[in-house]
Chain A
Amino acid sequence: EEQLVESGGDLVHPGGSLRLSCVVSGFTLSAYDLSWVRQAPGKGLEWVSTLNGRGDRTFYADPVKGRFTISRDTSKNTLYLQMNSLGAEDTALYYCAKNQGSGSYPFASWGQGTRVTVSS
């Protein structure tokens, strides 16, 4: 059974940093694109970032470009999201999601999310 378990969410001050982790099981990290999707309180889903299966291409939504970095450690079966220069607009529940394949394949599996709150 595939599982994705996020962690690392916390309350952080504006301008601070945080690193989210997503430990996966039941599939090989390098065989699929993996993504982060966030959902601000009471709002819709917003794609944040994707790392391709080969691990050599990263993609970011405009609001996080230059501040967030997606990466992985295949030896630990873990996907990361390093978030810097956080602002109130980054407050959200952050999900990691496994693409069903690469490219246009849908997000077949999701974690339960980890909550990030940016506040002074």
Chain B
Amino acid sequence: SYVLSQSPSVSVAPGETARITCGAGNIRTKSVHWYQQKSGQAPVLVIYYDDHRASGIPERFSGSKSGNTATLTIDAVEAGDAADYYCQVWEDTSDHLWVFGGGTKLSVL
């Protein structure tokens, strides 16, 4: 089955740039979506189709893809950005349909 690999955790100081990666062998052929989940809350879509910001998401959030890796970048990180972030792809070559990465916990120091 298709596997998306995310680092378990990323830590940055306020004002710095956070980069959260999502790796898979042929991710260049997939559309990647990113979700933010704050503690005790439902997930929220932040980036869709690799690099499109969802409604209401600050411009500090951006998405990109290169080689076997998709990246969620958060510029000028704020304390309120602390959350778990998940990548997701639609795996239409099988009946498994949707795959989530394991999630990355962003800590703001």
Spell out A's residues near B (CB within 8 Å). 35, 37, 44-47, 50, 59-62, 95, 100, 103-108, 110-113
Contact = CB atoms under 8 A, between A and B. Distances in A.
Contact of A113 (B42, B86, B88, B90): B42
Interface in B15-44: 31, 33, 35, 37, 42-44
A111 B42 contact: yes
A103 B100 contact: no
Given A47-B97, A59-B96, A59-B97, 13 more contacts: A45-B43, A47-B100, A61-B96, A62-B96, A95-B43, A104-B49, A104-B92, A106-B45, A106-B49, A107-B45, A108-B45, A108-B54, A110-B42
Interface of B: 1, 31, 33, 35, 37, 42-45, 48-49, 54, 84, 86, 88, 90, 92, 95-103
Contacts of B88: 45, 106-107
B98 A103 contact: no
Contacts of B45: 106-108
A113 B100 CA distance: 18
Contacts of B90: 103-104
B14 to A, nearest CB: 26
A59 B95 contact: yes
A31 B29 CA distance: 27
Q: What are the 7 closest A-B residue pairs judged by CB atoms, nearest first?
A: A104-B90, A47-B98, A106-B33, A44-B103, A110-B42, A106-B48, A45-B100
A44 B48 contact: no
Contact of A35 (B31, B48, B49, B98): B98
